[in-house]
Structure 1
């Protein structure tokens, strides 16, 4: 066991704290990773606010990259010294999804079995099974994906959650391919990544929809061909007008609200696809829709789990595209901060001032 500095949320709504925690030596199937960079994701704020569950105290942080320091018995996928991006989908290889050759939907993903603790022995709940606002963290070895060590840790660590969720929502879930029209409603970190993914896939029209001019400007830099300020314009009508009166082939909802999901539903073309990647809160309901509209418009209504990604397949590919200059992951890093600056980063996130603040350790 070793002791390291880490950031926890001790109680609902309370400011985060920088404390000393205990990290066990890795057991069978586990790895200890020395964290180099970790993004400040909205999900971490959800944990602090009690929006995920009430299993306090939480060890926050999950969009991370770092160096494997030690592995436990039976670990073969990574070794000490490997540069890895952490993920929260360590596939089991045995569940019904894995057995039918769809490990990207693994229904039995797993985390480290041992618990990290406070100095007094209180067990910590690591965010998304990772807990990487820490100098070192204990994870399941399958949560470590080896990538090109020449890549910038602050940039590629963001594949661990938001950037992968957005790119995957476009390419994996939405099936965006060359020539298709795409609309993205909500251009925060995940929506901006969906725009970048659509551009990477060769979409013909990429329509960014938001109420924030700064986010729309970022969307243009990442590949949007058109922008719509939905505070001033009906986004459904605007998307139809920009697509010959038909609607987009794929509409990605990256807000997670009933009203924007309904906009996405009506902004798609016949036989088009709606992808929900924005995370709703538990009390939100599917908006009232005439069933004849659901039937008559055809197509598909999908939810995207982590961009339906398979980390072992997708992370190295996207890192290689980044290294080739074809995917601008650096654009998502708004600022680099210290481990003591996370509370201030939450405030900047709340005001929409950043795509991602990234903690450098």
Structure 2
């Protein structure tokens, strides 16, 4: 009797298991069967947020379901990032991740809120953007060498704005290497930081293309870029390497699409194909170029994951060197 019951139990368990596998397979084949949410941890209307909307509109056509952008800014993008980390790994909640926050926020914590490599499934991208050194026109520095020399000769007289994690690390690294005594002023974003830079409340900032129009109108001066080569949108601006300036290994910034860890491979492949196709669309490419952004294919999810792993190692190393790691 016992053996008979055991056999029945085993057959029932096998049946349940096969049924579960069938449900999973059906879910994978029918994905997506409802709208997808792409969480944007940036303010609505920012260049990063606008880019998310452009590519999502095209990817949605390929996937056959709407992609809804949900803005969750704040706390250095931590609100939006933790929202997606805690979401089910079913492909219906994704993150439009910025490299500076995705890597920098956990890199600066003794107990990181998440692991940017282990806790996310890489999907597609990245979209790369430039970081420029902006200074107020009244500052007597027309190159990074002149800026460093002026800062060394005038300790404590330069205040620099920090609008994101990456700019904080670039400026901090330069200050450490060249023993610059400057005052760091932190802002919640580059818009507020740029306003104070234009008014002269602060004199310098490493930032994205957000302030580029102000520079082109003469309200700010651009003296360098952290990119490995000159930017096509500011070809007359030399790189730090050209001037022989050490440090700032970060180059430009980047954006990518990730999902919670453990996302099924078939769903990952569908999303990767749709977003990769959208990013390569000529209309998107032109809009990116107009905004000073460039799509840089980094292969499939595994290749993007390796890139993210190396980036996190760099951010963590820099955070430790600059004594930025806190509880």
Whether TM exceeds 0.5 here: the answer is no
**Which protein has greater RCO, CA pairs closer than 8 Å, 6+ apart?**
2
Structure with greater helix share of residues:
2
- TM-score (normalizing by structure 2): 0.30
Structure with greater strand share of residues:
1
